Amino acid sequence: MPLMNPDKVADIIKQVALDKIVPRFQKLEDHEISTKTGPSDLVTIADLEAEVELTRIFKDILPGSQVVGEEAVSKNEIDVGLIGSQSDPIWVIDPVDGTHNFAHGKPVFATIIALVQGGEVVQGWIYDIPNDRLAVAEQGSGVELQGKRVKYPQIAKPLNETRGFISRKFLPEKLKTELKNVLDNEFGNIETYLCCAHEYLDILAGEAKFSLYSRIRPWDHLTGAMMLRESGGYVRKWDKSAYKAGDERGGLICAPDEENWQVIYDFLLKDYLQK
């Protein structure tokens, strides 16, 4: 499959954001916000309208492709399993990553797009809408942030003095309990934006060293993980296997290299997983 023109796709993402997402920011009515699996799992009219528009355009510009969007999967309109099982090109869409932030008027949200072919992410885009910040990657060709080639940051400070991202909300309850003292008192600056896109972009920008996730939905992580790999980072699931397009379980650690990955694993997960 010929690769897509990355600038053309970026322009589409930006235009849909301008048309469907930006006008709704901090202007949502109550009836334009609803819940999916629980009270904190939100979807807005902006998510829905942007995904419909992106789906229509992407199918048109790449004939024969399919689209797996977060909201379509949530409504059982398409099977998420297509991502790892189809040979046809598949667009994976998160129209508004960070919906909780968006719905509460916080400018920490983005659009994430992955193009998957034969079970591998071949191209990816992350667009930080409020800050007009764009990252683009192509398999085997590296990653650019704001038009400049970037490398995974080699932060010299010890791991426990550096900044990292862990979403405690989604950790297994037993692990969350076991790690509370470690994360609160023995580790560096650990936080979450409730927006994977911004976390991946901050790592690419050299503002954080690592991330650890227990929930790996494809629209949240396929593009970001591919970008960190393309930038020279080391990305593996908790069982140390490679993260593939069809994976939905297993947890994920993103680190500058294998040595740092192992340190994070040993410090935070080894005892828990061995039990």
Q: Tens digit of pLDDT for each residue in 182-211?
A: 777 777 788 899 999 999 999 999 999 999
* Domain assignments of the chain as residue spans, ordered by start: 6-149, 159-274
Fold (topology level) of 6-149: Fructose-1,6-Bisphosphatase; Chain A, domain 1 (3.30.540)
Q: Quote the tokens at residue 92.
A: 């994976």
Three-state SS letters, 186-202: HCCEEECCCCHHHHHHH
pLDDT value at position 1?
Answer: 59
pTM confidence score: 0.95
Domain 159-274 -> CATH class: alpha beta
pLDDT value at position 105?
Answer: 97
Stated as kind and residue range, the H or E segment containing 272 is helix 270-274
DSSP 4: P
Residue 136 reports pLDDT greater than 80: yes
Write out pLDDT tens, residues 2-44: 699 999 999 999 999 999 999 999 999 999 999 887 777 889 9
Three-state SS letters, 200-256: HHHHHCCCCCEEEECCCCHHHHHHHHHHHHHCCCEEEECCCCCCCCCCCCCCEEEEC
Choice between 84 and 235, residue whose per-residue pLDDT is larger: 235
